[in-house]
Structure 1
Amino acid sequence: MGDVVLLVPVVRALVETYPDVEVTVVTRPKFASFFTDIERVVPFPADVDYTYTGIFGMRELFKKLLRKGNYEVVMDMHDHIRTMMLRSLFKIFGMPVVVFEKGRSEKHTFTQKENKRTTPLPHTVERYRKAFEKAGYPFTIGSPPYMVLKDSTREQTKEWLAKNNLVKKEKWIGIAPFAMHTSKIWPLQNYAGVMEKLIAKEPVKFFLFGGGEKEIAFFESLQKQFPDQVVIVAGQLKLKQELALMQQLDGMLCVDSSNMHLAALMGVPLLSVWGGTFPDVGFGPFRKGEESILQISREELPCRPCSVYGKEKCLRGDFACLTRITPDMVVARLEELK
């Protein structure tokens, strides 16, 4: 999801720079909504798990896309086995194909056990932009917010807030504590401590973002501890409504996750907690500085980062990159957010 989200500012800048360009974005159905409200951008939902599986599935997808339009250029912004098959079919039919530079070898040397090379790598958004430049479409990317929200979406979020008697009288902090992999998740038992310390300093309300039964169960446990300060957003709003809510927050506490990217793209002040992954690999919060990143230094833990996207095990066995980050450290940094 994070990779797809980071394509949004690039596609939006492209069509804003070139008024005669129309873009078809082929993506999973659950990600199509990221592009639906951008002018001259048409999402094509492709269910690659069931409808378009394997070689024959890619052939069917290719046929449908070919019937849809005569493309001037095909951009492979994933460089995955599926997109390799798809772009090969377009090449056979004589269409120009440009593949973005994923930087696999550079990222590998960043995460290898010995002799790490940790010179900061280009951000993924910049890699996407460079691919379009290679295709003959140079442009610059402006300032956030990058996600397009309809007035109706904002109104729906406003109605949800009113329905739940949520009127902003105190600081609003969003919390998104979950990620796909264990090496990205700051110990969950720390969040109650953070919330308790912040509540002791000033009036604050916490909005909890996520999804899934386990996540909601954890959120409910926090709500029992802090019934007047906790609002569970998970499962209550659609994705774009959540984005409209994020824009009303004073800050967002998250880990290396899609919610971090979404908050950054909406221009929300944020603090992201990093463990086994590393922002300089190219996935840091876009257009955010060091004020948005909390991590144990590589001088203290030379094993960092141990992976590009995260994993379930720790080479040391103790996930020190996460456990050494204390609630006090997080609270101090959250108070600095502007």
Structure 2
Amino acid sequence: MKNKYENILVYSGGEAIGDALYKLRFIQNLRYNFPNCKITWLAGQGKTEYSYTLKPLINKLIDEVIDDIKIGVNPLKEIIKSSPIQKEYDVIIDTQTVVLPTLILKKIKHKVFLSATAKWIFSDIKPNNFSIKDSSLNDRLNIFIKLINNNQIKYFKDNIVLEDKFIQLSKKLLPQGNIYVGIAPGAGDTSKIWPLRNFIKLAQKQVENNRIPVLFLGPNEKDLLDIIKKEVPKALFPEWTDEAIESGLKGPILVIALAQRINVAIANDSGTGHMFALADTKLISLFSKHNSIKYAPNAKTLIILDSKKWGGIDPNLIPFNEVNNSIDKLLR
């Protein structure tokens, strides 16, 4: 019989935008399986985007976000002190795997404690034959749901819910009736970026095939705007139009809304790739230095092109024709 839990605490070190977007699928699944449970997200070692840019997306998924109580930041000092959190939780889920923060987290009052740290030695419930070594981060998170749900999980399959103002703006910026190919040439880690000349050539190919390339450029990539416009005059830059800027709507939620109108998208291993995945856009993800099994975006339709297949971790190794042919494949 399924245990009845009234509250669940999920612990993480904190989330930059890419991590926060990736974990949204897990949060959706957790809420879907425990609809009446109070869910608290504790970012114990830093800020989380769930308190900022992504707050509108998690309002109905997470009941409380705590990112102003430090747990696991100075473990050697914290280990001898009582926990700053006095509340008792039915379940604590530890999503990280470092021993000292796990021990500190376990000092919070609880009935069930779940952690994969040190091969699950600190966990009250342990999975059978589950290794985190060759599993995706998504699988690692979902196993926690199974452990407190009689080894069962229902996967949330609905589209992400966005505020109507973002949806209406995206319809104006990308009107119906065209084939849109989304291209995101940037990444926070510049060592993971496929060459700009390839992205430009890719955009030019879309124009030749009567498709419209839609470029997604973040604030740090503004200097690419004029360069790409000159090479691909028919490309669209919806986030950088006067209408978008004057609306005051921007950031990840606008990107997700726009991506819902894209037929197929290409992105480096980046936060924008995870935004495309959340929009359920058909996605081509370009990997290089990181493990694509572990960090692949949660896209329903996904092609991963990993530079390691061609001999190394340099994204330059990914052949142009592989990317271009993948677009054609996903548009069939």
**Shared fold by TM > 0.5?**
yes
Residue 158 (str. 1) matches residue 168 (str. 2): yes
DSSP-derived class of the 1:248 partner: coil
Alignment partner of 1:168: what SS?
A: coil
C-alpha contact 1:26 1:46 (8 A) present in aligned 2: yes
Query: Residues 29 and 156 of structure 2 are in contact (CA less than 8 Å); yes or no, is this contact kept in structure 1?
Result: no
RMSD over equivalenced CA pairs, Å:
3.6
Corresponding residue number in structure 1 for 2:42: 26
CA distance in 1 between counterparts of 2:83 and 2:170 reads 41
Q: Distance in 1 between matches of 2:271 and 2:136?
A: 15
Alignment partner, residue 303 of structure 2: 292
CA displacement 1:243-287 (0-9 Å, x = unmatched): 12211111111011222223223311011112223322x212325
Of 259, 262, 269, 1:256 maps to: 269
Partner of 1:206: 214
Structure 2 CA distance for partners of 1:192 and 1:61, relative to 1, 3 Å: farther
Distance 1:6 1:295 in 2: 19
Check 1:143–1:124 CA distance in 2 against 1; reply closer, same or farther (3 A cut): same
* Partners of 2:233 and 2:49 in 1: CA distance: 32
Q: Map residues 95-110 of structure 1 onto 2, 5 A cutoff.
A: 96-100=112-116
Q: Are 1:42 and 2:63 matched, yes or no?
A: yes
**How many matched pairs?**
290
CA distance in structure 1 between the aligned counterparts of 2:188 and 2:319, rounded to whole angstroms: 22
Q: TM-score of the superposition, structure 1-length normalised? A: 0.71
Q: Deviations over 1:30-64 (max 9, x none)?
A: 23326754535224141589x9964689999953x
CA drift at 1:102: 9.1
* Residue in structure 2 matched with residue 129 of structure 1 by the alignment: 142
The answer for the alignment partner of 1:111 in structure 2 is: none
Match of 1:5 among 21, 30, 33: 21
TM-fit CA distance, 1:186: 0.6
The CA distance in 2 between the partners of 1:98 and 1:270, in whole Å, is: 33
For the residues of structure 2 that align with 1:29 and 1:193, how far apart are their CA atoms?
36
Matches within 5 A, 1:34-113: 36-37=57-58, 39=60, 41-47=62-68, 54=74, 63=84, 65-66=85-86, 69-79=87-97, 83-84=101-102, 86-90=104-108, 93=109, 96-100=112-116
Q: What is the match of residue 204 of structure 2?
A: 196
Residues 69-128 of structure 1 show CA distances to partners (whole Å, capped at 9, x for unaligned) of 5311111113358843650431xx45542114698xxxxxxxxxxxxxxx9821211111
CA 1:253–1:89: 2 relative to 1, 3 Å? same
Residue in structure 2 matching 1:221, options 212, 227, 232: 227
Q: 1:181 to 1:286 in 2, by over 3 A?
A: same
Tell me how far apart the structure 2 counterparts of residues 277 and 31 of structure 1 sit (CA, whole Å).
24
| 8 Å contact from structure 2 (residues 216, 237) kept in 1 | yes
Matched, 1:267 2:267: no
Residue equivalent to 1:315: none
In the alignment, what sits opposite 2:239? 233
Alpha carbons 2:170, 2:257 under 8 Å: kept: no
Counterpart residue type for residue 39 of structure 1: K
Query: SS at the partner of 2:63?
Result: strand
AA in 1 matched with 2:28: R
Distance in 1 separating the partners of 2:213 and 2:79: 47
Contact 1:35–1:43 (CA under 8 A) maintained in structure 2: no
In structure 1, give the amino acid aligned to 2:27.
Answer: V
- The amino acid across from 1:283 in the alignment is Y
Higher RCO (C-alpha under 8 Å, 6+ residues apart): 1
Distance (whole Å) between structure 1 residues aligned to residue 192 and residue 255 of structure 2: 22
Q: Which amino acid is the alignment partner of residue 12 of structure 1?
A: Q
Does residue 180 (structure 1) correspond to residue 196 (structure 2)? The answer is no
Cα drift, residue 241 of structure 1: 2.5
Q: Distance in 2 between matches of 1:3 and 1:138?
A: 25
Structure 1 position 232, deviation (Å): 4.7
- Amino acid corresponding to residue 156 of structure 1 in structure 2: F
Matched residue of 1:170: which SS? coil
**Any idea what SS the aligned residue of 1:337 has?**
helix
SS of structure 1 residue aligned to 2:28: helix
Q: In structure 1, how many angstroms separate the alpha carbons of the residues matched to 2:205 and 2:193? A: 20
Percentage identity across aligned positions? 17
Q: By how many angstroms is 1:242 displaced?
A: 1.9
